[in-house]
Chains A and B, each alone.
Chain A
Amino acid sequence: MSGRAASAQVLIAGNPNCGKSTLFNALSGGSAHVGNYPGVTVDRTTARVQLSAQDIELVDVPGMYSLTAGSPEEQLAINALLEGNTRAVICVVDATTLERGLYLALQLIESGVPVVVALNMMDAAERLGFRVDTERLSQLFGAPVIPVVATKRSGLDALRAALERQLGPAGGEHALDVSYPLTLEANVDDLIPAIAQWRPATPRRQLRVFALWCLLSLGDDSLRDVPEAVRKAVDDVRAAASAEGRDLDLEIISARYAWIDAALTEACSVQAAPPPLSERIDRVLTHPIVGLLAFAVVMLGIFEALFAGAEPLIGAIERLTALMQAQAQVLLPAGVLQDLVVEGIIAGVGNVVVFAPQILMLFLFIGFLEDSGYLARVAFVIDRVMKGVGLHGKAFVPLLSGFACAVPAVMATRTIERRRDRLVTMLALPLMSCSARLPVYILVVGTVFAGQSFGWFSAGAIALFSMYTLSVLVTLAAAAVIRRTVLPGPAPTFVLEMPPYRWPSARILWINAWRRLRIFLVDAGTIILAMTILLWALLSFPKSAGVTEHYAVERERVEQMALSDAEKAETLQSLDAQEASEQLANSLGGRFGHAIEPALRPIGFDWQIGVGIIGAFAAREVFISTLGVVFGIGEADEQNKPLREALRDARHADGTPVMTPLSGISLMVFFLLACQCMSTIAVVRRESGSWKWPVFLFSYMTVLAYVASLAVYQGGRLLGYG
């Protein structure tokens, strides 16, 4: 856009559920760019929008009810407002809940920034019998109020025109004056000197607004960068007021609502209307019996989508990865480069892309639940259960998704509003027994419990049932403990708006799910790819020249033996597998497995299982193929008979078998509890915004897994098993 001035930044703000994202997408044509606000894990979605005379950069601010901030996340909006290059704000107000939406608009207009109020969902409001005189409302608020229906893209031209006027020289000229009580005005005057020092060269009008903001926000906040002098001044004023029996929060907020109520009496009328459709739907969906049934069906639907629905796509991606690996093996000469491409790069990209189907499915599903309004009902129905362990009702869907895969589940925690609640959920849910653990259970059960049964049930069924039960109990216990120790703080309050039911737009659902997937592929994907290559190197180097030479000689010998071609091929294949096994034993990873064997013995494992556990860090199911290599079997899956036999035949140095029912249980418990998944680490890094939390997650789960396995194995031995 040469020749045009640098584009002005325009924020788009509004209450949660007011249709802000829909309007954002309607204005931007879906061409948004998602970044990250520095320091906090809130997506910063921006888009370039062309107006008739200029381009603007439209920034989607997280949904909020007011500018009051208690946490760094909530501070984003106010920071963005204070940024010098914010030229105007579009405040989206749901016309069906005018008063609450206008409370935010009032604060924005009060701050002196040019505002355009987009009165969204006017059609729904009219059906409910609301009549709004937008012209009168514009006069009263000193800002253009434009009726729009974002889903139908109506009113957008008028909105753009009003925005352009507000961006011009006359923008923000009018301001509104709430009449606050005189005593409060005096308190504000007391604060001005401290605030003027913090924000020099700010007009007095803004200083006043900022003083009000400090009075409401400071005191019980965790905000950064607030000068001590301002905190002290605010504390003094609040203390003096409360000594007089005054509640400053109440004074400020009631004065604003009184102003809004007065304005609406003038500009809005209500006619009798039928009870909203939502009310009738809710009579069914939150009914004590039918509601719980509906809830169970919807949750089963999510489950079905994640397990069965995503399965063919996951299979296709895995087949495609294998195909590309085979192709690379043909195209590239055998050697380190081929190995790097096949087992490092292609496997790594495969490890990333394989999550795509589940992430897309889960986010399409959650998007549907959220945009339709049912997600709030899910929280409403299940909160009673969740609050017992200190979790928010909205943590239920992410936890449940953890049964399928922790990666999309961790991403799903972003529906939880408060960062602390989100972190607790994110740190506990990797303990849910995900689908990648299942092959490990099946291998172990098939190895140590084959054909056994207790009473009516097979030993395998009992073992699997125990693992899943244990996983749920441990997850909830971990959440309760983390909430009380690592992330102490007030229990999550549950003040949740129950938005009216609306039919979600397929386009918006797709845009949002796609955006989430792209973030995963780029941010978490690079970490996963790097870790895959690192693991490959660990398990491949150093190569022992002696071993290579020995097997070259052996191969030569086989070639010259008087055998049929088929027999030769078979012998050569088993030589390959043996060589791979010896090279693995010699690699850094193999040596590391040996080195940690003394630590593994007390929980019933040997070095070979240790190498498997290291390999499993790429993904839990890799445990099995790594074991296949360790035991010199070659390609193996959990149903593989030779692998089961090799495991059964494995002996400790003293001749006792490695795999007993007891060490098998110990191994399953270890896999259930350990954070054997670098993708989870990568996605927690992305969603928590720092390495601190994934490191904590990995450490606590590893310690927990070790201690639990130790207790199982040693306890079992004391009782005479194994």
Chain B
Amino acid sequence: MKRSLADLPPGQHAEIVSIDCERRLSRRLMEMGLLPGTRVRVVRVAPLGDPIELRVRNYSLSVRRAEAAKIAVNPEGTV
């Protein structure tokens, strides 16, 4: 089942499958270490519902939902 980072509940671990957005942004995310195969975790959602905080490669990163929706993931614990 294909899901995006924006669909994951806080606390959920997942593996990135692909990043499919505007080049400027995808390049930025990849250079910050978000690549296919990288493990991420959704840490929390901002008090007003957007953006969301991710944990990846030992640091925290916040992205807007609209951007997270373009990152396809494979949630851990699912097949």
Contact = CB atoms under 8 A, between A and B. Distances in A.
A252 to B, nearest CB: 9
A253 B27 contact: yes
Contact of A249 (B26, B59, B67): B26
Nearest to B29: A495
B48 interface: yes
Residue from B27, B36, B48, B53 with most neighbouring chain A CB atoms (10 Å): B27
B31 A103 contact: yes
A68 B67 contact: no
Interface stretch (A182-190, A229-237, A286-294, A510-518): A286-294
A97 interface: yes
Interface string B42-79: 01101111110100011111111001000000000000
A136 interface: no
Contacts of B60: 278, 497-500
A75 to B, nearest CB: 15
Contacts of A250: 30, 35-36
Nearest to B55: A279
Contacts of B29: 495
A132 to B, nearest CB: 13
Interface in A142-172: none
Interface size on A, as a range, is 35 or more
Contacts of A484: none
Contact of A384 (B22, B26, B46, B58): B46
B58 A286 contact: no
B24 interface: yes
A380 B46 contact: yes
A490 B22 contact: yes
Interface string A373-405: 000100111111101000001000000000000
B33 interface: yes
A493 B27 contact: no
A171 B16 CA distance: 39
A492 to B, nearest CB: 10
B2 interface: no
Interface in B1-47: 22-33, 35-36, 43-44, 46-47
A497 B62 CA distance: 6
Interface string A77-90: 00000000000000
Contact of B62 (A68, A99, A496, A500): A496
Nearest to B30: A253
A197 to B, nearest CB: 26
B61 A494 contact: no
A219 B24 CA distance: 10
B58 A99 contact: yes
A99 B61 CA distance: 14
Given A100-B57, A495-B67, A383 B27 contact: no
Contacts of B32: 65, 100, 495, 497
Contacts of A500: 60
Nearest to B28: A495
A288 B30 contact: no
Given A98-B58, A490-B24, A498-B60, A253 B46 contact: no
Contacts of B22: 490
Contacts of A96: 58-59
A304 interface: no
A602 interface: no
A220 B61 contact: no
A505 B63 CA distance: 29
A494 B35 contact: no
Nearest to A247: B26
A128 B57 CA distance: 13
Contacts of B50: 383-384, 387
A393 B64 CA distance: 11
B31 A65 contact: yes
B48 A385 contact: yes
Contact of B47 (A103, A216, A288): A288
A257 B53 CA distance: 22
Interface string A478-509: 00000000000010011111111000000000
Contact of B48 (A381, A495, A496): A381
A100 B58 CA distance: 9
Contact of A253 (B31, B48, B62): B31
A99 B28 contact: no
Given A100-B32, A384-B46, A384-B49, A68 B27 contact: yes
Please name the 10 residue pairs, one residue from A and one from B, whose CB atoms are nearest each other, closest first. A384-B48, A498-B60, A97-B59, A288-B47, A253-B30, A66-B31, A494-B64, A384-B50, A99-B57, A249-B27
Given A383-B62, A493-B24, 4 more contacts: A65-B28, A97-B58, A382-B48, A498-B62
6 contacts: A220-B24, A286-B53, A292-B47, A381-B46, A494-B51, A498-B61
